[in-house]
Amino acid sequence: MKAVVTGASGFLGSRLAAELVREGHQVVAGSRKPVPELVALGARHAPLELSDRDALRNAFKDADVVFHVAAKTGVWGPEREYFESNVTGTHNVLAACEQRRVKRLVYTSSPSVVFDGREHVDASNDLPYPHDYLCSYPATKALAERAVLAANGRWGLATCALRPHLIFGPGDPHLVPRLLARAREGKLARVGPGDNEVTLCAVETAVAAHIAAARSLRPDSPHAGRAYFIGQERPVRLWDWIDGLLRALDIPPVQRRVPFALAYAAGTLCEALWWLARLAGEPPMTRFVALQLARSHSYSMEPAQRDFGFREPLDIEEATARLVASLRA
């Protein structure tokens, strides 16, 4: 199988490309700059910008499957940049799939596309898209996800979207390092009661789900034209998990508590200040982050297990132990 991975220099994209090579597939790693580790494994690098349709067409030549992982992430930034990368870029990927007659497209989405600020506990795939979003990332990812799912069956293309939730693991450059940095600086505080239930996703689990979804994807497959939450089968109490991680790394557990209403108000104020004063960087708090830290957002893996045979390759305890071992090393 010839597979193309966009965003192959990122955390998930690089791990996905590496696993595909190990399984014996011909892999094209699409990214702005080469990833030496992937090239050493045997992947071919394709210079890729989502705005460059010619580059996409060149990368997708003779591809059996495209894994569209590349995206602009984060909770703050110019809306135009998110739209150009996540929406226009995805439409360019779809156009290249049409022109190259690619048969399968697996799109990396996010549970935030259906996050409406309310409690989601063991939620299934039928959550509706909210009418309004609190930041550009979920808004643009939702538009892109809809476009990908609507393309299923066109030009012989089969599509599906996966929504891995809070990806972590060895080599994570974003989630856990930022969490640990704030904890060491004494800037981490429980928001709300601190009993919210959250699904986490080990990077190995996200990789396994992408490969499983692609393996049996056809326009009439049960998962074709549909979106699926992906993560560990057992959710965690978010703040208990964070405290356990901190203790394992000899960092004092989180002591401070902030009422949700206060955190949400602070997020509103920070967003206004950053927007009016055109301040650089992300605000220390936003409304979206306050809700994510205080609310439950856990999801059922049963639909993915039923429709395309997804199974987590390791449980939450083993995934956390691997993370701790890598951080200690």
Asked if pLDDT for residue 217 goes beyond 90, the answer is: yes
Count of beta carbons in the 10 Å neighbourhood of residue 246 = 18
Q: Is 133 a catalytic residue?
A: no
Residue 173 is predicted with a pLDDT of 87
pLDDT digits (tens, 9 = 90+) for 128-174: 999 999 999 999 999 999 999 999 999 999 999 999 999 999 998 88
Task: For residues 65 and 156, give the distance between their C-alpha atoms in angstroms, rounded to a whole number.
Answer: 12
The active-site residue, picked from 137, 228, 264, 299, is: 137
Residue 109 is predicted with a pLDDT of 98
Asked if pLDDT for residue 187 goes beyond 80, the answer is: yes
Pull the structure tokens for residue 303.
Answer: 């639909």
Query: What mean pLDDT do residues 60-74 have?
Result: 96
Res. 39 pLDDT band, cuts 50 70 90: very high
Domains and CATH numbers, the chain: 2-239+289-328 (3.40.50.720)
Count of beta carbons in the 10 Å neighbourhood of residue 119 = 12
Query: Worst-scoring range by mean pLDDT, 120-129, 155-164, 220-229?
Result: 120-129
Name the pairing type of β-strands 197-198 and 236-237. Answer: antiparallel
Count of beta carbons in the 10 Å neighbourhood of residue 131 = 6
- State what percent of residues in the chain have pLDDT above 70: 100
Residue 122 is predicted with a pLDDT of 86
Task: For residues 107 and 223, give the distance between their C-alpha atoms in angstroms, rounded to a whole number.
Answer: 12
Asked if pLDDT for residue 125 goes beyond 80, the answer is: no
DSSP class of residue 131 equals S
85: closest CA among 97, 104, 65, 69?
Answer: 69
Res. 175 pLDDT band, cuts 50 70 90: confident
Q: What is the dihedral of CA 256, 260, 264, 269, to 10 degrees?
A: -50
- State what percent of residues in the chain have pLDDT above 90: 84
Is 260 in contact with 229 (CB distance < 8 Å)? Answer: no
Res. 294 pLDDT band, cuts 50 70 90: very high
Q: Which residues contact 158 (CB under 8 A, 6 or more apart)?
A: 103, 104, 105, 152, 217, 218, 219, 221, 224
Mean pLDDT over the full length of the chain: 94
Which SS3 state, helix, strand or coil, does residue 27 take?
A: strand
